């Protein structure tokens, strides 16, 4: 039986390098068969996975993990089924390896093609979310890459079980030993070892918060694509459909607040304060959201409170906790039921606010003004820019990629959801007929 564990970081990475050379030459049918075998193994061994996850959950509660982190960590039969289904979605996608990006014949008669090829060995460092173990593995296998996984210590048992199940199924289906490796999720010393395996690791992708990003920046000598924080904004423009705006804001904030594509700041055009905030504040309060607001929002809420004796809905409208927003709030990814709310006087002011505080992840404008929408699309520098939609759609599965390893907030070499094509580089294939250069 194959094992997902190895005795050291260096051993795991060397085994992955050996596997990568073979994996890059394996045809699509065998890779897809291995992924289908992983799908079956996940379902067949659900009880084993749940037992491991229950131990992690117990330890997490004892350690005082917050509700958002516990939600990221938790697995149940339904979530395992969804993870397995995502693997099958990846099976159904075209294999990017060997895809011809462009081809032409040069004036001298040489034929040149640019084709996609695997990166080689991809190390994925992630926090708290055991589903990443399988999502990342499936994407790497399909794109012909060996993978080295390094999960969080809080998900040690879940990750070890999932990685071992995947590795055993993949090798039994004909993939090389070492193509799926796991390091233990230890401390900073282990992270530094992994991040400096220049001879064996081609790329590191961290999926976590700013703390993980900072830790890697201190030690990494291997190239890194940062799938980092999401300080996401929604701007409600003067012409927005306010009923739809309320629904979009609630979805983006409350559906799953502990994820990187949840909205953290709401910007409202001053002309729609009276139309939007009364109902929205009440709904946010009903959902348990704490609002941290600027002076104009707080002043408006105070007016609503003063009118509570004459407006039957006034009392409910103001049953939301409102605190003054500080400078730090505008730059914070809460990952919780907290929302910063501010007023702006124009779309351009909203763009400038986002430029100052945004993390480059996902930003949205709600408007019926096509000029304002276009200005927002052009003016906001982020991986994903939405018009009249929730930021929660920034996800590889929602984008038709099957799954994702993370969402890149940088510009090179990938941006947005990191899927199959983002796990490839390319090479030039040049064919001649005795050509020599004069």
Q: What residues does each domain of the chain span?
A: 9-227+405-431, 232-393
Distance CA 227, CA 214 (A): 12
Quick: pLDDT tens for 108-122.
999 999 999 999 999
Structure tokens at 195: 């991040």
Measured torsion, CA atoms of residues 54, 59, 61, 64, in degrees rounded to the nearest 10:
-160
The predicted pLDDT at position 306 comes to 67
pLDDT for res 248: 98
**Position of tokens 């190895």?**
6
Q: Which CATH class is domain 9-227+405-431?
A: alpha beta
d(CA 264, CA 175): 43
Assess whether pLDDT exceeds 50 at residue 251: yes
| Position 186 confidence tier, pLDDT thresholds 50, 70, 90 | low
Instruction: Over range 319-335, report the average pLDDT.
Output: 93
Q: Which residue, among 367, 392, 397, has the nearest Cα to 253 in the 3D structure? A: 392
- Mean pLDDT throughout 258-264? 93
End-to-end CA distance of the chain: 57
The pLDDT of 168-190, averaged and rounded, is: 92
Q: Please, are residues 24 and 97 in contact by the beta-carbon 8 Å criterion?
A: yes
Burial class (CB in 10 A: 0-12, 13-18, 19+), 296: middle
Helix (H) or strand (E) holding 94: none
Task: For residue 2, name the pLDDT band (cuts at 50, 70, 90).
Answer: very low
Give the orientation angle of helix 77-91 with respect to helix 46-62, to 10 degrees.
Answer: 120
Q: Is the dihedral of CA 288, 290, 295, 299 positive or negative?
A: positive
Instruction: Give 37-91 pLDDT, tens digit per residue.
Output: 999 999 999 999 999 999 999 999 999 998 878 988 999 999 999 999 999 999 9
Distances (CA, A) of 373 to 240, 284, 296, 377, 417: 11, 26, 25, 6, 23
- Phi/psi of residue 350, nearest 5 degrees: -65, -45
According to DSSP, the β-strands at 290-293 and 321-324 are parallel
Taking the domain 232-393, which CATH number applies?
A: 3.40.309.10
Region 236-265: what's the mean pLDDT? 96
Helix 295-306 to helix 273-286 angle (10° resolution) is 80
Number of alpha helices (DSSP H) and beta strands (DSSP E) in the chain: 16, 16
Quickly list DSSP for 4-72: SB-SSHHHHHHHHHHHHHHHTT--HHHHHHHHHHHHHHHHHTHHHHHHHHHHHHHHHHHTT--HHHHHH
- What is the pTM assigned to this prediction? 0.87
Radius of gyration of the chain (CA): 24
Q: Cα dihedral sign for 143, 399, 365, 257?
A: negative
pLDDT digits (tens, 9 = 90+) for 135-162: 999 999 999 999 999 998 899 999 999 9
What CA–CA distance (Å, rounded) separates 316 from 319? 5
Minimal CA–CA distance to 303: which of 317, 283, 285? Answer: 317
Average pLDDT over residues 292-311: 79
- Cis peptide before 357, with omega less than 30 degrees from 0? no
Neighbour tally for 95: CB within 10 Å: 17
DSSP 81: H
Beta bridge partners of 205: 124
**Structure tokens that stand for 358 in this block:** 């945004």
- Over residues 342-387, the pLDDT tens digits come to 999 999 999 999 999 999 999 999 999 999 999 999 999 999 999 9
């Amino acid at each position: 039986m194959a094992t997902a564990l190895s005795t050291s970081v260096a051993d795991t990475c060397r085994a992955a390098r050996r596997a990568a050379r073979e994996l890059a030459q394996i045809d699509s049918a065998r890779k897809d068969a291995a992924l289908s075998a992983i799908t079956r193994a996940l379902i067949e061994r659900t009880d084993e996975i749940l037992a491991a996850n229950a131990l992690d959950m117990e330890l997490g509660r004892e350690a005082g993990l917050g509700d958002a982190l516990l939600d990221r960590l938790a697995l149940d039969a339904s979530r395992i089924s969804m993870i397995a289904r995502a693997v099958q979605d990846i099976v159904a996608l075209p294999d990017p390896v060997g895809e011809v990006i462009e081809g032409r014949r040069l004036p001298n008669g040489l034929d040149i093609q640019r084709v996609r090829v695997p990166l080689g060995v991809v190390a994925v460092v992630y926090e708290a979310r055991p589903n990443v173990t399988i999502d990342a593995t499936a994407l790497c296998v399909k794109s012909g890459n060996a993978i080295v996984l390094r999960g969080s210590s809080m998900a040690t048992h879940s990750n070890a079980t999932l990685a071992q199940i995947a590795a055993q199924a993949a090798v039994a289906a004909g993939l090389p030993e070492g193509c799926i490796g796991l390091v233990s999720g230890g401390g900073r010393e282990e992270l530094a070892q992994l991040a400096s395996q220049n001879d064996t690791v081609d790329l590191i992708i961290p999926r976590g918060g700013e703390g993980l990003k900072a830790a890697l920046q201190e030690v990494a000598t291997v190239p890194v694509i940062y799938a980092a924080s999401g300080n996401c904004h929604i701007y409600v423009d003067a012409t927005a459909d306010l009923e739809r705006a309320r629904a979009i804001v609630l979805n983006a904030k409350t559906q799953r607040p502990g994820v990187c594509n949840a909205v953290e700041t709401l910007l409202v055009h001053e002309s729609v304060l009276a139309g939007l905030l009364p109902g929205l504040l009440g709904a946010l309060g009903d959902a348990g959201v704490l609002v941290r607001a600027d002076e104009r929002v707080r002043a408006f809420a105070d007016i609503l409170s003063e009118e509570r004796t004459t407006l039957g809905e006034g009392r409910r409208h103001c049953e939301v906790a409102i605190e003054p927003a500080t400078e730090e709030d505008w730059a914070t990814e809460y990952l919780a039921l907290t929302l910063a709310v501010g007023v702006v006087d124009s779309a351009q002011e909203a763009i400038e606010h986002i430029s100052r505080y945004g993390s480059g992840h996902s930003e949205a404008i709600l408007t019926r003004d096509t000029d304002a929408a276009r200005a927002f699309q052009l003016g906001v520098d982020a991986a994903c820019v939405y018009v009249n939609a929730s930021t929660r759609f920034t996800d590889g599965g929602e984008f038709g990629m099957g799954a994702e390893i993370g969402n890149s907030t940088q510009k090179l070499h990938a941006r947005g959801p990191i899927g199959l094509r983002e796990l490839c580089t390319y090479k030039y294939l040049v064919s001649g007929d005795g050509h020599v250069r004069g």
